[in-house]
Structure formats: structure tokens, C-alpha cells
Amino acid sequence: MKFRRQILAAIGTAAFSFIPPALFAAATSSNTIVLDETGVKNLRIETVVAEETTFEESVFSLGRIESIPSRASAVSSRISGRIVELGVSPGDTVQANQVVAKVESRQPGDPPPVIDIRASAGGIVMSSAARLGEPAEPDKALLEIIDLSEVYAIARVPEHQAGTMKAGTKAHIRVAAVPGGDFDGELLRFGNSADRESGTIDAIFRLPNTGGLLRPGMRAEFSIVISKRENVLSVPRAALQGEASKRYVYVKDFDLEHAFIKTPVEVGEMNDRAVEIVSGILPADEVVTRGAYSLSFAGGGSISLKEALDAAHGHEHAEDGSELTPEKRAEMAAKKRAAAGLPPENAGGGNANPVWMYISIVLFVLLLASLFTRKRGTAPEEEEVTPTPEAH
């Protein structure tokens, strides 16, 4: 079973043959949780395959989303006049050269001439200082438009960690306000000065804003990649359970359906997504991610280990899941008879226990040997001598 493979990996092939099978059965029974199909659905169990992948060592940081100053533009009128039409509001998306307002000129005319006000660049209308009927002057901005196809993600990084980063460093950025808000950014540069109070400096990442969901001011979480290592066995952090001194994961059993083995592991480095597994599991093991915490409180589930093994292997097992030996079969039969109020099998002339039969035979043979030895060791009685008549 799976538990045998885990012990084999931990102690080596040479010592494997010296471990009694009963030890595997007892350990497997105490660490295996067997659920039925309904239990698996209720706990929403999900698993992933443990693989050797490229493991990223990272630094965690908090920050925010900001617009790129060079992508901001203002809309104003080229002539003095009065706003007679306003076609956009804050939050609207506009295209370059799109008509966003109309201004009636102060030049005389009947009617006075009206000119179109067009957007100088595409983007989102961030603010508006224009209202219908208000005067428009060339030195007054009517609208502010920002192109958010790319944004800055600014992380506040401790000064001592900033030295480990350079331009081009990658970061995994999570924005909680955006559904599925996981993004990848690239370090562009650091801020002009550090914050003396917090001892941090701004690390500015350029971030593509596909779909335009990111907005200035949103909070962000950063996992900044410092280094990478190849061929590292790792699992998602959601799979790791227990206290720091007693870490474990739940591994899906190879043989039993809906059975999960609580498996102690030794962990190495962690990042925001994964944890390195130094020992305890092997590549290709399926570990539980979603529902792993709930399994700790699932008890034995609705199916016993014995029932699951009986169904999987097609023959009966002991209560602890181990294979049945003749002695265990006799023990189980005795328990069933006792539970039914029946006397033991060897009572009332029934079949005797094989051990007592062997003992009885040996004792009988010894008794016969003793009697035979005593008979041969006894001295023969003197023969009676019949006197003969004396000769006269």
C-alpha cells in the first residue's frame, strides 16, 4: 500500500524487509481516513499530483496600483466659449479623437459657431471639470483621461531586501479587488527616495492591464522572485497541515477509493504558492489541497478501513485493515460466537483449538513413554524354587 512506499522512502530498501507486516497495518489503520462519495462531495475534496518543478524563492510585500503619469492626458477647448454639449462622464472609456463635448464660440453669429472638443488620447475619463452651460477657456482642462492598458504596481520593499533585486526581476501580484486577480509584473526601477519611518523603498513594476480591471489606488500583494531552483518536489501550500513542528499532508491511497492517508512530511522553503517537500512523499503522489483542513475533523468517515479493503480486494480483512491469519480468523470467530451468546467452539464436544490438540497429543505420548520406561526398569521377581526330595 501507499504507506509502505512512504516508509521505504524514509528508511531505505535495506531496512524495509525487517519491518513486520503488522506494523504497516497498524500504522495505515490509524492514519487512513475513508470517506464515501457523499463525504468527498461535502468536503469538496480536490487533489493535485506532487511534481518536481522549478521552485521560486520569493519575498512578500504589500503595495498599490498606480497609473503611469506619461499615459495621462487633458481635454480643453481651443477657444473661449460655453459648453453646450457633454458626451462623457467619469468612468467612461473613450477613443483617441472621439468627440467628448461641444463648445459654443463667443464670436458673433446667428447662430454662434459651435466647435467639437475631441479626446487627445484614448483611455478612461478619470475626472471632469465641465458642466453644461459653464464657460470654457483655453487654459482650463475640461476632462482628464488616462490610458490604463498598462499600470504601475508599486511594492513597499524593505531596504535590506531591495539590494537582492534588479531591473527585470519578476513578481507575482495579487489584487483582491479583481476576481481571479493574479498578475505577473516586471521590475522597472526603484523610487527616488526611501521612507525613513518604515525603512522601505518603492519598487515599481510595470503591469499589463488586460481587460482594464485594474484601477489606481487598489491594494496589491507582491511575491517578488529572488531566485529559482530546478527539480524541487513541491505541493501547493493549501495541502500543508499541522503545526510547524508536526507538518503533514493527506495523500490519496493508490488502492482504495475515497481513502486518504495522513502522511508526516519534512518541509523546506515556502513561497506564496507552494512549499518544498524534503521527505515524506514521492513524485506522482496525489495530495489533497482543497478540503485538507476538513479531513482532520472527518474521523474515520462513514466507511471503515476494513469495509473499504474488503470491497477493493475481494476478501475479508481484520478490523485494523491487515490481512487475516489463521489466528486472527479464530479470534474473530470467537468474538462473533460470544456476541451471539454461543459457547466457544471447543465447548460441549466441539472441535478443539489446534494448539490444545497438539499439547494433548504430546502429553499422551510422554505418558506412554513414562509407563514403558517404568515397566522395563523394574527388577524381575525371583522364581519360586521347588525343593527336591533329599536322597536317603
What pLDDT does 109 receive?
A: 79
Q: Are both 48 and 116 inside the same structural domain? A: no
Q: Is the pLDDT of residue 278 over 60?
A: yes
Same domain, 120 and 140: yes
| pLDDT tens by residue, 108-167 | 878 889 999 999 899 999 999 888 988 999 989 999 999 999 999 999 999 888 888 989
In a domain, 316, yes or no: no
123: in domain: yes
Residue at 291 is within a domain: yes
Residue 105 β-bridge partners: 81
CB atoms within 10 A of CB 93: 13
40 and 89 housed in the same domain = no
Specify whether the CB–CB gap between 60 and 107 falls below 8 A: no
Residues 54 and 73 in one domain: no
For residue 294, what are the domain limits?
Answer: 2-10+31-58+231-307
Which residue type, as a one-letter code, is found at position 276? Answer: E
So what's the pLDDT on residue 143? Answer: 92
- pLDDT tens digits, one per residue of 164-217: 898 999 999 999 888 887 899 999 999 988 888 889 999 999 988 888 889 999
Give the least confident one: 8-12, 35-39, 222-226. Answer: 8-12
Residues 106 and 47 in one domain: no
The number of folded domains in the chain is 2
Q: Is residue 261 part of a domain?
A: yes
Q: Which pLDDT score, from 0 to 100, does residue 107 have?
A: 83
Q: What percent of the chain has pLDDT over 70?
A: 74
Q: 24 in a domain, yes or no?
A: no
Q: Are residues 243 and 298 in the same domain?
A: yes
Q: Is residue 245 part of a domain?
A: yes
Domain identity same for 48 and 89: no
Q: What average pLDDT does this structure show over 260-266? A: 93
User: Sheet holding 72-76: strands in order across?
Assistant: 72-76, 141-146, 123-128, 93-94
Domain boundary among 83, 111, 146: 146
257: domain CATH number is 2.40.420.20
pLDDT of 273 reads 87
Higher pLDDT, 186 or 307: 186
pLDDT at 100 over 90: yes
What is residue 319's predicted lDDT score, i.e. its pLDDT?
56
Calpha distance 317→273 (Å, rounded): 41
Domain identity same for 278 and 237: yes
Residues 54 and 92 grouped into a single domain: no
Kindly report the CA angle at 25 between 19 and 31, in degrees rounded to 5? 115
Residue 371's pLDDT band (cuts 50, 70, 90): confident
End residue of a domain, out of 94, 128, 146: 146
User: At 107, which CATH number?
Assistant: 2.40.50.100
For residue 390, what pLDDT band results from cuts at 50, 70 and 90?
Answer: low
Residues 119 and 88 in one domain: yes
- Tell me, what's the pLDDT at 316? 60
The residue that leads in pLDDT, 13 or 270, is 270
pTM across the whole model? 0.59
Residues 279 and 248 in one domain: yes
Same domain, 51 and 76: no
Residue 209 lies inside a defined structural domain of this protein: no
Task: State the maximum Cα–Cα separation within the chain, in Å, rounded to a whole number.
Answer: 201
Domain end marker among 290, 307, 324: 307
What are the grid coordinates assigned to 369, written together? Answer: 513413554
Q: Report the DSSP pairing between strands 32-34 and 274-279.
A: unpaired
Which residues lie below 8 Å from residue 245, measured CB to CB, with a gap of 6+?
Answer: none
Query: For position 88, what pLDDT does the model report?
Result: 92
In percent, how much of the chain has pLDDT > 90?
41
Q: Does some domain include residue 374?
A: no
- DSSP string across 334-354: HHHHHHTTPPPTTGGG-PPPH
Taking residues 357-384, report their average pLDDT: 69
Q: Which residues on adjacent β-strands are paired with residue 81?
A: 105, 136
User: Can you tell me the distance from the alpha carbon of 96 to that of 94, in angstroms, rounded to the nearest whole number?
Assistant: 7
